[in-house]
Amino acid sequence: MPDYLHTYPFLSYTFIIVFSMGLTLSAIPSILHVARARHLYDDLGSFRKQHDHGIPRLGGIAIFVSFTITALLFGFADKSLPTNYMLAACIILFAMGLKDDLSGVNSSTKFLMQTFVGAILVVLGHIRLTSLYGIFGVFDLSYGVSAAVSILIIILVVNAFNLIDGIDGLASLTGIIVNSTFAGLFIYMKQYELAAVALALVGATIGFLRYNISPAKIFMGDTGSLLLGLVSVIMALKFIELNKFSGGKLPDIISAPALAVAILIGPVFDTLRVFTIRIINGDSPFSADRNHIHHRILTLGYSHIQTTLILSGFNVVSILIVLMLGNVSNSTLIFMIFGVSILFNWFITFLIRSKERENLALRNLFT
């Protein structure tokens, strides 16, 4: 672990955030210039797009470059995190995301590359769950089950961040909340190197948010959303595993599995919900639609920034619920968080149907 992180933690973390943010802020104007000169705009023909004019979607390049340079320059490398495998995985997803942003990548190729990246992190980097910590009555996992479950979790979270990148600021602000929370928890646990990695991404994303907040001047595209998802799930897996019961010693945070679920609940719940609906309807889980929670809130008349703040606020509330009920079992807390998420979704459905009934009544009144 770098000595400065231990000796001057506050100054070190502040500098890491500012440095990473500064790199992003300085890179985006050049990316905007190139995108406009080469006409590299978002696909206006897609029925899911929320804008009526071309906007570049290469902002993830700035986030990736900023995060990678910061991680390499400040030497975040010790036994708690195999930085070489993390950066290798980031580069692979970056390359795939860049191709998708420029010319498109089919869903099967995306799934294959995400599985490959997951295998690098799990098999070579040993970033995996070795136990379910009593959730559903399951404790220690065999290596095969552990590896399979961990790779599936990586694929789920990476796709979840990719899918919430549908309106201005949502993926950015969610990434900032998620990784800031993990950073704070790692500092509490004295895992300073992991906190620094999370904050390097936070700084890069804050710099991007300056240009992505409504009205957006640039989108992060797959290059950015895949990176956010990848680093977030790495932080989640390390956080859970470092709080494992071992040798009769109590972990720093007993409710770590439930807390990790609460931190990631926004993108994860929305992804599980839309995948389930698509499968029930006989469609591919990877088919595009406008059934995401952010799309549904927009139909109620809220703006992009209002929708982003509503969903971010729900994420923060979920985290606070677990923090306040930290002595409750992980299984109970996880069921509670998903239960609250379902109620939140039902409430949105109720509002949408009420608005539809009101609109129908108005049409009947004037016909």
Q: How confident is the model at residue 16 (pLDDT cuts 50, 70, 90)?
A: very high
- Residue 71 CA to residue 58 CA, distance in Å, equals 21
Predicted pLDDT of residue 51: 46
User: What mean pLDDT comes out for the span 66-85?
Assistant: 83
User: What mean pLDDT comes out for the span 291-311?
Assistant: 93
249: which DSSP letter? B
Predicted pLDDT of residue 230: 97
| Amino acid residing at 270 | D
User: What mean pLDDT comes out for the span 68-90?
Assistant: 84
User: Could you tell me how far CA 77 lies from the centroid of its own chain?
Assistant: 23
pLDDT above 70: residue 178:
yes
Predicted pLDDT of residue 44: 43
- From 83, 360, 81, select the one nearest 237 (Cα to Cα): 81
288: which DSSP letter? -
pLDDT above 90: residue 295:
yes
| Choice among 38-47, 97-106, 170-179, 181-190 with the minimum mean pLDDT | 38-47
Q: How confident is the model at residue 103 (pLDDT cuts 50, 70, 90)?
A: confident
Q: How far is CA 53 from CA 17, 41, 212, in A?
A: 32, 9, 15
User: Could you tell me how far CA 14 lies from the centroid of its own chain?
Assistant: 22
pLDDT above 80: residue 95:
yes
- From 128, 152, 151, select the one nearest 140 (Cα to Cα): 128
Residue-wise pLDDT for 260-272, tens only, equals: 999 999 999 999 9
Residue-wise pLDDT for 184-217, tens only, equals: 999 999 998 999 999 999 999 999 999 998 788 8
pLDDT above 70: residue 219:
yes
Predicted pLDDT of residue 6: 61
- From 28, 327, 1, 13, select the one nearest 207 (Cα to Cα): 28
Predicted pLDDT of residue 359: 82
Residue-wise pLDDT for 112-149, tens only, equals: 999 999 999 999 999 999 988 878 778 889 999 999 99
Name residue, tokens 């620094």: 196
- Residue 270 CA to residue 147 CA, distance in Å, equals 25
Q: How confident is the model at residue 157 (pLDDT cuts 50, 70, 90)?
A: very high
Residue-wise pLDDT for 33-65, tens only, equals: 888 888 776 654 444 445 445 788 899 999 999
What dihedral do alpha carbons 154, 155, 158, 163 form, nearest 10°? -150
Q: For the chain, give the mean pLDDT.
A: 89
Residue-wise pLDDT for 281-294, tens only, equals: 888 777 777 889 99
pLDDT above 70: residue 10:
yes
Q: Which residue has the higher pLDDT, 235 or 77?
A: 235
Structure tokens at 356: 């539809």
> For the whole model, what pTM was predicted?
0.92
HSE-CB of 231 using CA atoms within 13 angstroms: 35
Helix/strand/coil for 139: coil
Q: Could you tell me the end-to-end alpha-carbon distance of the chain, in angstroms, rounded to an integer?
A: 72
Q: How many residues does the chain have?
A: 367
HSE-CB of 34 using CA atoms within 13 angstroms: 10
- Residue 154 CA to residue 132 CA, distance in Å, equals 15
Q: How confident is the model at residue 327 (pLDDT cuts 50, 70, 90)?
A: confident
pLDDT above 60: residue 229:
yes
Enclosing H/E stretch for 125 = none
